[in-house]
Structure 1
């Protein structure tokens, strides 16, 4: 949990260990972390330091760039499979948000007080994050990483064929379940493979989020502007909306679902992800750790001085011989998050921040149109074409945000904390400014600015 965002080794928070660890080797260990495992499992601490040094010695390889792209596909899908327009997983999340009005127009919402599609997606994301996140710690990242995109793709395609509101919402929940699991694994898997001096790439990984938004926006512009029922102006009678006149949202689900299916196949054929060395070391599977690292080093002709006997000489990780399903080990997955006062505070604050974002984000987008209407916002000339054109433009603007952030986290006096603070402050300022919007040009300009800074 140190901040390796600046160029110098000392500033990245790494120092040489004083202790010699087998065969004359000494390994670096992190300094200034929220939690130092050396106090509870010194063997794991030393082995993890050895693995970190081995990964740094191998350096950045084409394998890491494959991971960057294929993990980024998962970021993208979050926007497609879930609820609120979050690059392929991001595509599926935004898919539900942008198609919901057209679906409700055709099927009618069974409960006018509940946005059932958004609720189904949110429940799926929550359960998926809990289920897949916990499972990935127990049995490894490989199964969840390879299966969640496939499940998401199939559920999205089937959702586009559903005959009524309830069945559609059911498959939205299933898609959200798989998307929620995939999303939490993408950055985790990438970070466990990437060298410490390239950790800024995890920040740049979020550009795929923006790509997901953009792809969804462009597809929506093509399908929803040409194959959707027209919403009646306020005060006018809504004309009946029939399936034949409202195929746009179905085309969107089938197209994006097919795209995600192709990406899930690429994960199995192009990358063939192995269990990460860092996860394997926590399980006491030292020989597999060396196999994973050696495969990368040999394939890309990189040095690797770590030997199996070096790891074995460090001792045995606590509970390595205990079943992964034992109550003791299952409890430890949660208990370790609160093992010290500092770690408990850090975990609680992270939970709180994400909870506030989860509350504020949908509330903002649900109530904003009503608030703007009360302030006299004039939309001007509008149509399905203009609506989805502006949506696509907004998503393209969002591509610049992750690039700027990836540069900022490497600057000495900014780093991760500074980048987060700057992004949050600018987002707040533009959101407050957005409340003063009165014309469509202001609306588009400020929405694009918010996409960049958020």
Structure 2
């Protein structure tokens, strides 16, 4: 692995990796776009169809279940069959189900389609971050953190879609299932049709703009030395670069243990999990990173489920509470959120701060702002502070998305990341249940979110590995 990493460093940053930054970024953008789609549609669908269970918020719950299944499917299989298949197919599956979701005639059928398109999106950023990292030279690892800007771009695009569609084609916030009819409530449908069309375009661009190959580090773990050398030689030749690694030098290191067994053998499947806990320090690191993902899993849906309702109720208190004001504020919120990954990309490469310090700073800033948000008394403060929260929380999210694959061993990286996201979705399901039983028009969920970000400060500082300036293995 060290020899392969050195060869990648010798070749350096090429047009191929810059293409990956944009094309893999599409996966990040689609993941956030689809998660937010169901959140935006939820109040409107609930007004039109009613909610089958008065306590359980079925649409966000369906999204979290789908995301959990997707994380398991894409994450756990990528270490077995490689990264290429998921890269080429995941966006298409998302697009099809999103388009169908916009035509659903009732609450249950819509929630079912939300689960299906969420399953398609569920492993996107696992594979996108892993693919990108495993082609990057050490000098450009910070780009994995910066790639989270695409996550924020997905939020921003959906925010503008919501502003346009939900403002003009939605029932009144005070409408009920008796008074809210399909013809008056087409906004959430237009949102899904437009998003689905966009995802199809991105899928075509991604597949046809680049010929994706298996990543060098995955090939090392599979003992496929000849393919690895071929890929490195092709990359170097195409971009006028060079490297010194030869097949003889690589083969001279011996063979990777147990690769003679089937990739589907129980031994190798089990090894992908046990390999994440192979030493005491690695086991501590894996446990802590799983804990971080579980906690942010609770925070994210809890915040996103209640934010549209809360903005609407606060808008009624500070302004007119109209659909226009609610979704304008929502769009502004996510435009400002783009600043988070940009700040994170600078902080992660700053001496004495690094990845762990950036995680703690993002969590601490978000916690302070969320506690402050409960004291807002006017419309400008409402929009300003909620936007600042989006930017601050994206500092944390952008860093954790990049730090996780950096500290996981290559042979088990997708499995480890998939496990993190599965744990994250379990936390998300719990977060939805908390949000379902809480009053989403009060500050109670906000206090819970702030307290959980306080816990994330501690969990971030306890992480044993600092990956700044070091090669991902």
TM bin (shorter chain): 0.7 to 0.9
Structure 1 match to 2:68: 126
Answer yes or no: is the 8 Å Cα contact 1:297–1:304 preserved in 2.
yes
Matching residue within 334, 351, 372 for 2:290: 351
User: Superposition RMSD on alpha carbons, in Å?
Assistant: 2.0
Between the aligned partners of 1:375 and 1:69, the Cα distance in structure 2 is: 37
Answer yes or no: is the 8 Å Cα contact 1:377–1:438 preserved in 2.
no
Matching residue within 17, 37, 41 for 1:64: 17
Matching residue within 122, 125, 130 for 1:188: 130
Between the aligned partners of 2:182 and 2:311, the Cα distance in structure 1 is: 32
Q: CA deviation at 1:112?
A: 1.4
Q: Once the two structures are superposed, what CA deviation does each residue of 1:246-291 show, in whole Å capped at 9, x if it has no partner?
A: 1111111011111111111112100121000100111111011011
| 1:110 and 2:110 aligned | no
| 1:256 and 2:256 aligned | no
Answer yes or no: is the 8 Å Cα contact 2:219–2:227 preserved in 1.
yes
Unaligned runs of 5+ in 2: 394-473
Higher CA-based Rg: 1
Mapping 1:215-294, distance limit 5 Å: 215-232=157-174, 240-294=179-233
Instruction: Give 3-state SS (helix, strand or coil) of 1:161's partner.
Output: coil
Structure 2 match to 1:178: 120
The verdict on how the C-alpha distance between 1:201 and 1:369 changes in structure 2, with shifts beyond 3 A counting, is: closer
Aligned residues: 393
Q: Once the two structures are superposed, what CA deviation does each residue of 1:100-142 show, in whole Å capped at 9, x if it has no partner?
A: 1111111221111111111110001011111210100111011
Matching residue within 144, 147, 153 for 2:95: 153
Q: CA deviation at 1:145?
A: 1.4
Between the aligned partners of 2:292 and 2:147, the Cα distance in structure 1 is: 21
The verdict on how the C-alpha distance between 1:164 and 1:370 changes in structure 2, with shifts beyond 3 A counting, is: closer
Instruction: Give 3-state SS (helix, strand or coil) of 1:438's partner.
Output: coil
Structure 2 match to 1:11: none
Q: Once the two structures are superposed, what CA deviation does each residue of 1:315-369 show, in whole Å capped at 9, x if it has no partner?
A: 1111121110111101001111111221111111111111111123333455678
Which structure has more relative contact order (CA 8 Å, sep 6+)? It is 2
Matching residue within 194, 200, 208 for 2:150: 208
Instruction: Give 3-state SS (helix, strand or coil) of 2:134's partner.
Output: helix
Q: CA deviation at 1:238?
A: 7.2
**TM-score of the pair, normalised by structure 1:** 0.83
Please state which structure has a larger fraction of its residues in helix. Answer: 2
Unaligned runs of 5+ in 1: 1-47, 79-89
**TM-score of the pair, normalised by structure 2:** 0.80
- Structure 1 window deviating more from structure 2 (57-66 vs 305-314): it is 305-314
| 1:408 and 2:347 aligned | yes
Answer yes or no: is the 8 Å Cα contact 1:372–1:438 preserved in 2.
no
Between the aligned partners of 1:238 and 1:109, the Cα distance in structure 2 is: 9
Q: Once the two structures are superposed, what CA deviation does each residue of 1:213-267 show, in whole Å capped at 9, x if it has no partner?
A: 110011111111111111218xxx7761111111111111011111111111112
Mapping 1:434-445, distance limit 5 Å: 434-445=373-384
Q: CA deviation at 1:95?
A: 0.5
Mapping 1:246-395, distance limit 5 Å: 246-366=185-305, 378-395=317-334
Q: CA deviation at 1:380?
A: 2.2
